[in-house]
Amino acid sequence: MAGTALIALMTGAAHAAPAPDPLQSPMWDMQAERLFGHDRVVFDPRVHIAVPMLAENQHVFPVTLDARALPDVRRIVVLVDLDPIPVPVDFVPGKAAPWLGLRIKLDQRTPVRVAAQTADGTWHVAGLWVDAAGGGCSAPPASRAHGDWAVHLGEVRGAVWHGTDGGGAAVTRLRFSVRHPMDTGLVDTIPAYNLETVRVTAGGETMAQMTVSGSMSEDPAFTLLLPAGETRPITIAMRDSNGREFTGRLP
């Protein structure tokens, strides 16, 4: 079995020919092959990833990604090489800026990366090693310990701010969170149960879409940058792995 995988890996390496991984991750070749297939992959400092200087809580590790320095970003994935569920979010920015604030789980010391795909199909990748204690994905969420997760399931909070981004350009900032246990399926007796899709619309027009997994933190929280002066009613439509739908509306 390992032999089959080995051959597959070597074949993959032959046609994808990714650049040598600056982080020297043991999982990069496999993850890159799985995620990017035949697409061109470059390591690009124009992709920014902001994280705290330490992973104080491996269950809630904040990441802010910024690919605004790239032209025409079509899709962004976050890749956590050594997590058992390695892609917490797959983000199609659409009308929103290629910028996203989110929180993820870390199961051990691992590279955390952002890969942004531009219109020519090329993936632009940046990342860093993050040291973390174990168990972010394999310990039960706090609401399971409290026993109150079902009481608060699907509670959506959020707000919109009309202001400027870091560079002084006008922008509409949207933040929202939803109460959800985001069970990974890696905890004994607790099956996987997580948010799967998030779609943000303004006045019925799709702004951004995300596919998310159980390696997003419990009670996921998102920050998006929408075009300046977006005053139409915003709807956040979410669906989880049991088919339950949750909706938030602003204003």
Tokens of 244: 């339950």
Q: Does 165 participate in binding another protein (rule CB under 8 A)?
A: no
Nearest distance from C-beta of residue 160 to another protein, angstroms: 8
Indicate whether 151 belongs to the interface with another protein (CB under 8 A).
no
Both structure tokens of 24: 């020297």
Of 16, 27, 92, 192, the residue at the interface with another protein (CB under 8 A) is: 27
Piece of 115-123, 143-151, 152-160, 207-215 that binds another protein (CB under 8 A): 152-160
How many positions of this chain bind another protein (CB under 8 A)?
Answer: 51
Q: Is 197 one of the binding residues for another protein (CB under 8 A)? A: no
150 sits near another protein (criterion: CB under 8 A): no
Torsional class of 115: left (φ above 0), alpha (ψ -120 to 50), beta (otherwise)? beta
**Could you tell me which stretch among 7-15, 71-79, 143-151, 204-212 binds another protein (CB under 8 A)?**
7-15
In the complex, the smallest distance separating the C-beta of residue 171 from another protein, rounded to whole angstroms, is 11
CB neighbours of 138 closer than 8 A, spacing ≥ 6?
84, 107, 184, 186, 187
- Taking the least distance from each CB to another protein, the nearer of 66 and 118 is 66
Residue closer to another protein, measured from CB, 60 or 125: 60
Sole residue written with tokens 């088919």: 243
Q: Which stretch binds another protein (CB under 8 A): 25-33, 37-45, 67-75, 207-215?
A: 25-33
- The token pair at 138 is 């394999």
CA distances from 168 to 93, 227, 228 (A): 20, 14, 12
Which residues are CB-contacts of 61 (< 8 A; sequence separation ≥ 6)? 51, 52, 55, 103, 104, 105, 106, 112, 130, 132, 136, 217
Report the residue number, 187 or 250, with the smaller CB distance to another protein: 250
Give pairs for 21-28: CB < 8 Å, separation 24+.
Answer: 23/81, 23/111, 23/113, 23/127, 23/128, 23/129, 25/81, 25/82, 25/110, 25/111, 26/81, 26/82, 27/81, 27/82, 27/86, 27/111, 28/81, 28/111
200 by Cβ neighbours in 10 Å (0-12 / 13-18 / 19+) ranks as: buried
Q: Does 14 bind another protein (CB under 8 A)?
A: no
Compose the 166-185 pattern: x for residues touching another protein by CB under 8 A, - for all others: -------x-xxx--------
By C-beta, is 118 or 218 nearer to another protein? 218
Contacting residue, 15, 45, 53, 147, with another protein by CB under 8 A: 53
Scanning residues 82 to 141, which ones bind another protein (CB under 8 A)? 84, 101, 103, 133
Q: In the 8-state DSSP scheme, what is residue 220?
A: -
Catalog residues that contact another protein under the rule CB under 8 A.
1-2, 4-6, 8-9, 12, 24, 26-27, 29-30, 33-34, 50-54, 56-57, 60, 62-64, 84, 101, 103, 133, 154-159, 161, 163, 173, 175-177, 219, 221, 223, 236, 246-250
